[in-house]
Amino acid sequence: MFRLSNYEKSNSITTIKFPVSKNAQILLIKTMRHKSEVKRQKFSSELLDELGDLAQIDIVNLKVSGTNQSHKKSKGRVVSKQYGYYRPKSSYIYIHNRTAVRGQILASKTFVDTLLHEWLHHYDFKKLRLNSIHSAGFYARLKDLKTKLGYFEH
């Protein structure tokens, strides 16, 4: 029997396989309206809990940090930044709420993009049983999730 590689399987799945609720859409809007770590933590956690329930997967633990993004510099310029990360073994998402150098609060769009990106790694790992990678299929699923949430309308 032929088995698809992780990469091929990831690329072959381009949509999320659950309906998105009105409540998830409302929580997305609430998340986008707030900038403080406390409010972003509250509404983002509620949104991820709702998405987990809808997808019928374990909930993920979220930490919204007030620290600056991790970054690397070369010749005095920022060459890479880490907005956040997902740890599959502990079902844990960590997101920096401040920019790398100046320490400004992240723009709502950047924050939500990071939140949904990291949660999709969780979905891939728990629901699709994938070693979640940045394949074309991953980005197609992310776009599908954002579309179903009405994210592009905000």
As a whole number of angstroms, the distance between CA 84 and CA 94 comes to 5
144 found inside a domain: yes
In the numeric block, the tokens 């990106």 are attached to 117
Number of folded domains that form the chain: 1
Angle at 128 between CA 32 and CA 24, to 5 degrees: 25
The one-letter amino acid at 129: R
pLDDT, position 79: 78
1 found inside a domain: no
pLDDT, position 101: 82
CATH code, 131: 3.30.2010
pLDDT tens string 10-40 = 999 999 999 999 999 999 999 999 999 999 9
25 found inside a domain: yes
C-alpha gyration radius of the chain: 16
Q: Is the pLDDT of residue 146 over 80?
A: yes
pLDDT, position 153: 58
pLDDT, position 75: 85
pTM: 0.92
pLDDT tens string 36-80 = 999 999 999 999 999 999 999 999 999 999 998 887 878 888 778
Q: Which domain holds residue 36?
A: 19-153
Task: Tell me if 67 sits within 8 A of 96, measured CB to CB.
Answer: yes
φ/ψ of 32, rounded to 5, equals -70, -25
7 found inside a domain: no
pLDDT tens string 83-142 = 999 999 999 999 999 988 888 999 999 999 999 999 999 999 999 999 999 999 999 999
As a whole number of angstroms, the distance between CA 27 and CA 3 comes to 39
As a whole number of angstroms, the distance between CA 58 and CA 126 comes to 7
